[in-house]
Each structure stands twice: as C-alpha cells, then as structure tokens.
Amino acid sequence: MSDKSNKYGYVGVDIPAQSFGANKGVFNPAEINDLVANNQWTTFGQLELIETQTYSGAVANIDFLNLQESTYNVHLLTVNNLGVTASGGQGLVQFFESGVIETANVYQRAWQYGNATGTFGESKSTADDTVFSFYVSTGDVTSNFYLYIYNAGDNSKYTFATGQMAKYDVATPQMQFGSGVLPQTSIVNGIRIKDSSGANWTSFDISLYGIRYS
C-alpha cells in the first residue's frame, strides 16, 4: 500500500521507505527522532555500549544480565584491571541460558598461553564449566582481556567466544588467546565472571558492547 502522507519533505507523492544507508528526503527533527528510535536513521558508530560495571566493593560474581541479545548477534566484552588476591583458582567466564547460569561441564575451549619468563602451552577441554578460564595464582593478579561472543540470541546456533588476554600474575606477564563454545542451541542472555575458588574480585572496569547489524 502506498503512503501518500506528507513526510520527509514529500507532499502528495509516494513516500520513500527509510532504512539505514538509504534515507531519502528532507527531514525535520521529529522525523529524525522517530527514525532513530526505529533504527532507520543512518548514523555511524555501530559499536554500541550496553553496560559498564566498575568496581565499588569486593564481589565474587560479576554478572551482565542485559545482553540485548535479540538486537545484537555479536557482542564485545572488554575486561580491564580485573584484580584478585591470593585466589589459587581459575578465573571463569560462564553464560546464562534463558536466565539460568550454566555451570555444568558442557563447554569446550582451546586457548594458547605464554609466559614472559616461563613456558608456553595449551589450555583445552571438551568438558569444562567455562568458555574461557585463566589461571590466577596465590599472589596478586591483574587480568585484562576481551571476548567477542557470537550467536548469543540465536536459539538455533551454538554460542561462541574468541578472545585475547594480557595478564600480570605475581609480576610475570602472561598472554592467552583462543576460542570457546557452549555447544548448546539456546538463548544466552547473561555473562558471569567468577573465580573458581570463590575469591572476591578486588578491582575491575568491564564494558559490554553490542555490534549493531552484525
């Protein structure tokens, strides 16, 4: 059905359909606001901040529960200055499936690690409770990493993560890079960062972004 209302500078003619990258006409501020709200206005900057969490006190679990997974197919999680003291455990990244945290040994992961003053090696599992783990020793550890997360909102596809880390573990620089998967066709709508030993995080600045149109 044609739309002959007066919009976008057009009067009495078929009004062009509007979409990202294909806006046609002369727009007034109200029309622009409506198009922005409907995601039909061309505006660049598709790395969109969803949420930032900053340390305000010792906490064991850092949860992101607003992934907006129906909007974004790819997410970017940036983790800065994630600190823990005397853990002796592993840092873990787990997913919530439809609001329920998945803690069973159903994840698969494969990560390469390297120590500035030690060895390189493989960290892998086909039955783990995390999509990404990173060793945190008995001393002070500060970890920094990013993860790209794919298909969180697609209940017909597995949810993947790829990423890279730079860590300072008891004065030893370390790196990790690799990939992981939750091989279950489910809706992932949350992310948890925790320590396997239950230690509290003592610092962090973490942001979650969605990549629109991904």
Q: How many CA atoms lie within 13 A of 57 on its CB side?
A: 0
The residue ranges of DSSP E strands in the chain, in sequence order, are: 47-54, 61-64, 74-85, 90-97, 100-101, 107-115, 120-128, 132-135, 140-150, 159-169, 172-182, 188-195, 201-211
Binding residues for other proteins, rule CB under 8 A, total 38
CB of 8 to other proteins, least distance (A): 21
Question: Which span (28-36, 85-93, 137-145, 206-214) binds other proteins, by CB under 8 A?
Answer: 206-214
> What's the gap between Cα 135 and its chain centre?
20
Contact stretch for other proteins (CB under 8 A) within 50-58, 92-100, 136-144, 151-159: 151-159
Residue 177 binds to other proteins (criterion: CB under 8 A) = yes
CA distance 37 to 114: 46
Answer yes or no whether residue 143 interacts with other proteins by CB under 8 A.
no
Stretch that binds other proteins, among 44-52, 93-101, 186-194, 199-207 (CB under 8 A): 44-52
Does residue 122 interact with other proteins by CB under 8 A?
yes
**Does residue 109 touch other proteins according to CB under 8 A?**
yes
Q: Which is nearer to other proteins, 199 or 208 (CB)?
A: 208
Cβ closest to other proteins, residue 20 vs residue 168: 20
Q: Could you write out the DSSP letters of every residue in 60-94?
A: SEEEE----TTT-SEEEEEEEEEEEES--SEEEEE
Please report which helix (H) or strand (E) contains residue 37, including its range. helix 29-37
CA distance 129 to 81: 23
Ranges within 53-82 binding other proteins (CB under 8 A): 73-74
CB of 109 to other proteins, least distance (A): 6
Q: Which is nearer to other proteins, 8 or 158 (CB)?
A: 158
Least distance between other proteins and beta carbon 156 (Å): 9
Nearest to 102 by CA among 177, 158, 176: 158
Which residues in this chain contact other proteins in the complex, by CB under 8 A? 20-21, 43-47, 73-74, 108-112, 122, 124-126, 148, 150-151, 154, 157-158, 160-164, 177-181, 211-214
